[in-house]
Amino acid sequence: MSTIESVSVCVARVPLNQPVTFSTRTVKAREYCLVRVRSTDGVEGLGYCYAVNTSGHLLAGAVAELLAPAIVGQESLRVEWLWQKMYQEALLQGRAGGVMRALSAVDTALWDLNARSAGLPLYQYLGAVADDRVPAYASGGYYMEGKSHDMLAQEMADHVRDGFKAVKMKSGLLSPREEEARLAAVREAIGPDVLLTLDINNGWRDLPHALQYVTRFEKHDPFWIEEPFSPDDIDNHARLAQATRITVATGEIEAGRWRFKDLMQRGAATLLQTDATVCGGISEWRRIAATASSFGIPVSPHAWHDLHVHLVASTPNATMVEWMPDDHIVNFRHLIDRQLEAQGGDILLPKAPGLAFQFDADAIARYGVTQPGQSQPWQTISRAKRGLSD
């Protein structure tokens, strides 16, 4: 029996070396909510979620005040029961958004704890489909000051040279004519056989506006259009899916199996980008992926390859991992002690137990945020502090 001894939470704020822009906002720094769940056996599982630019304290508060007290002292192997207990505890505070992201981090840490206790890589503990490598697509193509179409095209061509058979670029910020010119430059640079995907980041306001772009894009054969509208605008997702032969992909900031079921039943997406750091953790991600399978819909999770490589490797209808080749956009790699390796357009699966990395203590000392009233970045909720005993 493995009892949960403590839950610790920390916010880390990692600035970007150079701000990056997409259709709806500019990112200057990324905050992460980091979670450690420790058992009475001395094994520790890790989880994390992305807290955007400045909201890490909100997520950390949800972990410390809502979720950790619900699971400390409980049996770690009862993951499904613990998920439901946390979800019910936080029902009034938020079934999506920051609270669900916090729940996602704790749930991931529970799965990681149990996999480490079993001495297995997480994907094997979950039931591996793959056991060596999984396909990936190289993601980038952000807007940056002074970045020309030729520079964008070269960036994507470099990924193809490195062996990737699929790439992603940002789109939707500029006029339809300008965005077509960017897309055309990239397609010419990478050739006709590479999957080219476009990320709109919720940038289009209605179907007529979207079609101004899509009718220009179709001739360049993009594989998918990602998050074309607000995630709440399911109707326009469905209308666009009917209006174009291009795959409509969405779901990266959606939470809960019920919203994903609605997306699929209404024909609003033909590919899901469910993110385990957002949707409710590994537990909920697996439920959503299984439901998608029954609809004949593939899943290609959003970002966070250090976690999602395990889920793609253990899910039959999961297709590709989103690979961030460096730290100029997604800089979570600064916070951990081991990096995954890409080879020939695939990500090699790690062989160490659990998620196969640890949080880097020196990095936390540098980037950790000490909240008011705390003496250091980590806040711990333990059995001793709650007056629990065996």
Q: Average pLDDT, whole number, for the chain? A: 94
Give dist(CA 368, CA 148) in Å, integer.
36
pLDDT(390) > 70: no
- Lookup: tokens for 79: 């993951």
The 3-state DSSP class for residue 212 equals helix
Q: Which domains does the chain have, with CATH numbers?
A: 4-119+361-382 (3.30.390.10), 124-348 (3.20.20.120)
Q: Which of 254, 281, 302 is nearest to 96 (CA)?
A: 254
Q: How many CB atoms lie within 10 A of CB 215?
A: 13
Say whether pLDDT at 156 is over 90: yes
* Sheet strands (E) in 258-345: 271-272, 321-323, 342-343
> What's the rounded Cα separation, in Å, for the pair 138 and 157?
11
pLDDT digits (tens, 9 = 90+) for 232-261: 999 999 999 999 999 999 999 999 999 999
Rounded Cα distance, 26 and 143, in Å: 9
> Is the CB of residue 365 less than 8 Å from the CB of residue 335?
no
pTM of the model as a whole: 0.95
Task: Provide the CA 357 distance to its chain's centre, in angstroms.
Answer: 17
DSSP 3-state of 335 = helix
Strand partners, 242: none
Tokens (6 digits) for 378: 């980590």
Q: Which amino acid is at 171?
A: S
pLDDT > 80? residue 1: no
Q: CA–CA separation, 94 vs 83, rounded Å?
A: 14
Tell me: the pLDDT tens digits for 40-85? 999 999 999 998 778 889 999 999 999 999 999 999 999 999 999 9
- Rama region for 63: left / alpha / beta (φ>0; ψ in -120 to 50; rest): alpha
DSSP-assigned letters across all residues of 130-187: -SSEEEEEEE---B-TT--HHHHHHHHHHHHHTT-SEEEEE-SSS-HHHHHHHHHHHH
Q: What is the pLDDT of residues 192-210, one digit of tens each?
A: 999 999 999 999 999 999 9
Q: Does the pLDDT of residue 385 top 80, yes or no? A: no
171-174 contacts: CB < 8 A, separation 24 or more? 171/23, 171/141, 171/198, 171/199, 171/200, 171/213, 171/217, 172/22, 172/23, 172/198, 172/200, 172/201, 172/203, 172/204, 172/213, 172/228, 173/21, 173/22, 173/23, 173/143, 173/203
Per-residue pLDDT, 389: 52
Give the pLDDT confidence score for residue 386 in this predicted structure.
61
Longest dimension (CA), the chain: 67
Q: How many residues does the chain have?
A: 390
Task: Tell me the per-residue pLDDT of 336-372, one tens digit each, with 9 for 90 and over.
Answer: 999 999 999 999 999 999 999 999 999 999 999 998 8
Helix (H, G, I), strand (E, B) or coil at 228: coil
Return the closest-CA partner of residue 51 out of 42, 43, 62: 62
> Per residue in 168-194, pLDDT tens?
999 999 999 999 999 999 999 999 999
Confidence of residue 270 (pLDDT cuts 50, 70, 90): very high
pLDDT band of 384, cuts 50, 70, 90: confident
The pLDDT of residue 387 is above 80: no
pLDDT band at 28 (very low <50, low <70, confident <90, very high): confident
Is the confidence at residue 32, as pLDDT, over 90? yes
Which pLDDT band, with edges at 50, 70 and 90, does 26 fall under? confident
> Does pLDDT of 388 surpass 80?
no
Share in percent of the chain as helix, strand, coil (round to 5) = 40, 25, 40
Q: What is the pLDDT of residue 17?
A: 84
Phi, psi dihedrals of residue 66, rounded to the nearest 5°: -105, -50
Q: What percent of the chain has pLDDT over 70?
A: 98
Among 190, 103, 62, smallest CA distance to 138 is for: 190
Checking if the pLDDT of 14 tops 90, the result is yes
Q: Report the alpha-carbon distance of residue 185 to residue 105 in Å, rounded.
A: 39
Q: Which pLDDT tens digit goes with each residue over 88-114?
A: 999 999 888 899 999 999 999 999 999
Mean pLDDT of 132-137: 98
Q: How far apart are CA 141 and CA 385, in angstroms?
A: 48
8-state DSSP, 278: T
d(CA 340, CA 326): 11
How far apart (Å, rounded) are the C-alpha atoms in residues 63 and 45? 15
